């Protein structure tokens, strides 16, 4: 337990007033229309959504998770966090294509890219899934805050969950995405500064960088400073084969949409940027901050390791970075540190509240229930959806005593079997709604089989996660490729419209030629070879 002094509580209360106040101050802008409530009117310069990308992906459980993998694997554990690098390619490929679609959500994008009943079924499925997933993530992140508050003050779990998510909901309800983005900017700065301060403080407490290196060497554990310290090509729990799989998933995944669960959050930031260029830079720089932040944490966690090298319990060593802050910072700064933790927490909560509400309002309520709804009505529906998501997150959070394995499974559902279809929908004109829909349905069944059922009956061994990924991808392809090729492609008129507006990359030859034949594209003689 940590004892706060007056100055510590002063920082915390000041921060809460400022962060809620900044969000609420944009009430008038947020209530103007659904475009304002969900996308801040599509007029943001790149650095605002970039700060939101960074702030959203800095959640209460993020330092716990990063500490866990770095404490276990040394600096090489950073590769676990490298999945964020899908933005390396996405920033200049799928982000550009998605921004040109102008669709609010990934669910809406399906009716832009595909056509007819299949497209509508995809839209309905993805929007429902996203409403559920956002509530799930809110509960997961919320209960992590409950655990941090229990660790710090001995509070019951529900207090940390309910109090801070509710305070955050004030400005999300009032100003929607305007509130989210403005608060994220301020919260991102506070969080980044405090991550730097605590990490440098922790490194200093461990004796400084030279002492950390010397101690690790004397302990025979200098490998912990090697970013490429793997356990073999295929052996051990951290092999090169895992690393290569991660590189493929992360980097090549950038050609697609939805290859990472973070895409759904980023998609909203992409559409809120004022131009294609701003959208690209917002995604690139937000992710660059995320990756370098992880590096700062990793250096501090090595310091924690040399001070406390023999912690066997994962749940104990995962709190390492928080311990550096609360055990070594002086009075006053501890309160500021807790304020930064609140910033880290509410920035994530706010984003998912607004995102889940957008899928409900735009894709379910407006598109399927009441297409004639006025802008004013839609803003109110968005607020009610926000409130329901908040209450639902309390329910999920409190029932998640041990959700990690379920959550990892849910993320597999999102990532493994549909990873390739998520790329194909962008790069291959022939891929159609039925192929994509079949990949989702097949993935639901196949992932259960590969991850849970077949190993339970000893028909298949329990595979390492990277092998599960390749197997799920292969089995999924055996379903969606025949379905795609045995059903008709989307109507050419629809594909041409899509192509002219979005200008996708990849195998779009027949569609491009048809667009040129119709005079919808200027024929361009490129001076270099890449554009032919």
Partner 1 sequence: MGFIRRSWTPGEADEWTKEDWIAVVLSAASYILLMVGTVLSFLLNIWGFIILALGIASTYLMHWIIDPKLKTVSEEYEKKQHQYLENLEHKVRWEEIHG
x/- binding map, residues 169-208, to partner 1, per CB under 8 A?
Answer: ------------------------------x---x-----
Nearer to partner 1, 137 or 298 (CB): 298
Which letter does DSSP use for residue 251 in this model? I
Question: SS3 of 428, please?
Answer: strand
- What totals of helices (H) and strands (E) does the chain contain, helices first? 25, 0
Q: Which of 130, 187, 245, 280 binds partner 1 (CB under 8 A)?
A: 280
- 506-512, long-range: CB < 8 A, 24+ apart: 506/255, 506/426, 506/427, 506/428, 506/429, 507/427, 507/428, 507/429, 507/430, 508/429, 509/429, 510/429, 511/429
By CB atoms closer than 10 A (0-12, 13-18, 19+), residue 509 is exposed
Shortest distance (Å) from residue 239 CB to partner 1:
19
Question: SS3 of 488, please?
Answer: coil
Q: Which of 25, 240, 291, 411 binds partner 1 (CB under 8 A)?
A: 291
Tell me if 292 contacts partner 1 by CB under 8 A. Answer: yes
Q: Please say whether the beta carbons of 64 and 144 come within 8 A.
A: yes
Tell me if 528 contacts partner 1 by CB under 8 A. Answer: yes
x/- binding map, residues 360-389, to partner 1, per CB under 8 A?
Answer: --x---xx---xx-----------------
Nearer to partner 1, 43 or 464 (CB): 43
Tell me if 75 contacts partner 1 by CB under 8 A. Answer: yes
Count CA within 13 A, CB hemisphere, residue 434. 13
What span, in angstroms and rounded, lies between the C-alpha atoms of 505 and 241?
29
What span, in angstroms and rounded, lies between the C-alpha atoms of 174 and 389?
15
- Look at the block and give the residue holding tokens 């895992």: 242
Shortest distance (Å) from residue 12 CB to partner 1:
28
Tell me if 102 contacts partner 1 by CB under 8 A. Answer: yes
Near partner 1 in 51-70, by CB under 8 A: none
Q: Please say whether the beta carbons of 134 and 348 come within 8 A.
A: no
Q: Which of 1, 459, 486, 524 binds partner 1 (CB under 8 A)?
A: 524
**# of chain residues touching partner 1 (CB under 8 A):** 60
Nearer to partner 1, 72 or 100 (CB): 100
Q: Which of 163, 189, 384, 505 binds partner 1 (CB under 8 A)?
A: 505
φ/ψ of 311, rounded to 5, equals -80, 115
Q: Which of 150, 204, 275, 487 binds partner 1 (CB under 8 A)?
A: 275
Q: Which of 298, 306, 358, 413 binds partner 1 (CB under 8 A)?
A: 298
The closest of 251, 286, 255 to 268, measured between CA atoms, is 286
Tell me if 481 contacts partner 1 by CB under 8 A. Answer: no
3-state secondary structure 446-480: HHHHHHHHHHHCCCCCCCCHHHHHHHHHHHHHHHH
Question: In this structure, what token pair is assigned to residue 137?
Answer: 């993530």
The closest of 477, 145, 159 to 322, measured between CA atoms, is 145
Produce one character per residue of 376-391: b if its CB has 16 or more CB atoms within 10 Å, e if not: eebbebbbebbeebbe
- C-alpha to C-alpha distances, 527 to 417, 513, 515, 531, nearest whole angstrom: 40, 19, 21, 8
Q: Which of 25, 121, 159, 213 binds partner 1 (CB under 8 A)?
A: 213
Nearer to partner 1, 18 or 291 (CB): 291
Q: Which of 154, 210, 220, 509 binds partner 1 (CB under 8 A)?
A: 210
Near partner 1 in 231-260, by CB under 8 A: 251, 254
Shortest distance (Å) from residue 200 CB to partner 1:
8
Nearer to partner 1, 115 or 147 (CB): 115
Produce one character per residue of 313-336: b if its CB has 16 or more CB atoms within 10 Å, e if not: eeeebbbbbbbbbbebbeeebbbb
Q: How many CB atoms lie within 10 A of CB 245?
A: 18
Shortest distance (Å) from residue 436 CB to partner 1:
19
Tell me if 295 contacts partner 1 by CB under 8 A. Answer: yes
Nearer to partner 1, 32 or 367 (CB): 367
By CB atoms closer than 10 A (0-12, 13-18, 19+), residue 93 is buried
Shortest distance (Å) from residue 287 CB to partner 1:
7
Tell me if 85 contacts partner 1 by CB under 8 A. Answer: yes
Options 269-277, 316-324, 338-346, 387-395: segment touching partner 1 (CB under 8 A)? 269-277
- C-alpha to C-alpha distances, 162 to 1, 5, 269, nearest whole angstrom: 20, 24, 26
Nearer to partner 1, 93 or 168 (CB): 93
Shortest distance (Å) from residue 10 CB to partner 1:
31
Options 1-9, 108-116, 139-147, 342-350: segment touching partner 1 (CB under 8 A)? 108-116
Q: Which of 143, 161, 302, 473 binds partner 1 (CB under 8 A)?
A: 302
Q: Which of 220, 237, 459, 527 binds partner 1 (CB under 8 A)?
A: 527
The residues binding partner 1 (CB under 8 A) are 75, 78, 82, 85, 88-89, 91-93, 96, 100, 102-103, 108, 111-112, 199, 203, 209-210, 212-213, 225, 227, 251, 254, 275-278, 280, 284, 287-288, 291-292, 294-296, 298-300, 302, 362, 366-367, 371-372, 501, 503, 505, 521-522, 524, 526-531
């Amino acid at each position: 337990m940590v004892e706060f002094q007056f100055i510590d509580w002063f920082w915390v209360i000041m921060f809460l007033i400022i962060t809620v106040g900044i969000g609420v101050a944009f009430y008038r802008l947020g209530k103007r229309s659904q475009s304002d409530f969900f996308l801040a009117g599509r007029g943001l310069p790149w650095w605002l959504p970039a700060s939101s990308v960074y702030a959203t992906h800095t959640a209460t459980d993020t330092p716990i998770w990063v500490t866990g993998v770095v404490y276990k694997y040394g600096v090489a554990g950073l590769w676990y966090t490298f999945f964020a690098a899908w933005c390396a390619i996405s920033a200049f490929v799928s982000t550009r294509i998605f921004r040109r679609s102008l669709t609010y959500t990934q669910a809406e994008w399906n009716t832009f890219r595909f056509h007819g009943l299949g497209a509508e079924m995809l839209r309905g499925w993805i929007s429902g899934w996203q409403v559920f997933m956002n509530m799930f993530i809110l509960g997961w992140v919320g209960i992590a805050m409950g655990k941090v508050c229990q660790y710090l003050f001995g509070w019951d779990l529900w207090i940390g969950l309910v109090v801070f998510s509710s305070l955050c909901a004030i400005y999300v309800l009032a100003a929607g995405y305007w509130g989210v983005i403005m608060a994220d900017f301020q919260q991102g700065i506070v969080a980044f500064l405090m991550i730097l301060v605590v990490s440098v403080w922790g490194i200093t407490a461990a004796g400084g960088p030279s002492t950390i290196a010397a101690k690790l060497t004397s302990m025979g554990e200098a490998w912990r400073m090697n970013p490429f310290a793997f356990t073999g090509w295929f052996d051990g729990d951290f092999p090169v084969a895992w690393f290569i799989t991660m590189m493929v998933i992360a980097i090549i995944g950038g050609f697609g949409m939805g290859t990472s669960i973070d895409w759904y959050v980023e998609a909203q930031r992409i559409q809120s940027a004022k131009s294609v260029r701003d959208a690209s830079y917002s995604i690139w720089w937000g992710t660059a901050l995320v990756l370098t932040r992880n590096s700062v944490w990793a250096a501090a966690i090595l310091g924690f390791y040399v001070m406390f090298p023999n912690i066997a319990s994962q749940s104990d060593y995962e709190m390492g970075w928080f311990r550096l802050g609360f055990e070594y910072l002086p009075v006053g700064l501890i309160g500021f540190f807790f304020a930064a933790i609140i910033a880290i927490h509410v920035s994530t909560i706010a984003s998912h509240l607004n995102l889940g509400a957008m899928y409900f309002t735009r894709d379910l309520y407006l598109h399927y229930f009441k297409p004639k709804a006025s802008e004013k009505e839609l803003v109110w529906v968005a607020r009610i959806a926000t409130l329901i998501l908040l209450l639902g997150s309390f329910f999920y959070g409190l029932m998640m005593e041990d959700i990690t394995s379920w959550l990892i499974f849910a993320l597999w559902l999102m990532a493994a079997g549909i990873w390739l279809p998520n790329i194909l929908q962008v790069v291959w004109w022939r891929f159609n709604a039925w192929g994509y829909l079949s990949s989702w349905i097949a993935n639901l069944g196949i992932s259960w089989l590969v991850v849970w059922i077949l190993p339970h009956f000893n028909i298949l061994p329990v595979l390492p996660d990277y092998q599960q990924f390749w197997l799920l991808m292969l089995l999924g392809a055996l379903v969606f490729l025949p379905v795609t090729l045995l059903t008709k492609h989307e109507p050419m008129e629809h594909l041409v419209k899509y192509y002219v507006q979005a200008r996708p990359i990849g195998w779009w030859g027949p569609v491009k030629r048809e667009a040129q034949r119709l005079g919808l594209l200027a024929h361009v003689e490129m001076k270099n070879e890449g554009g032919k």
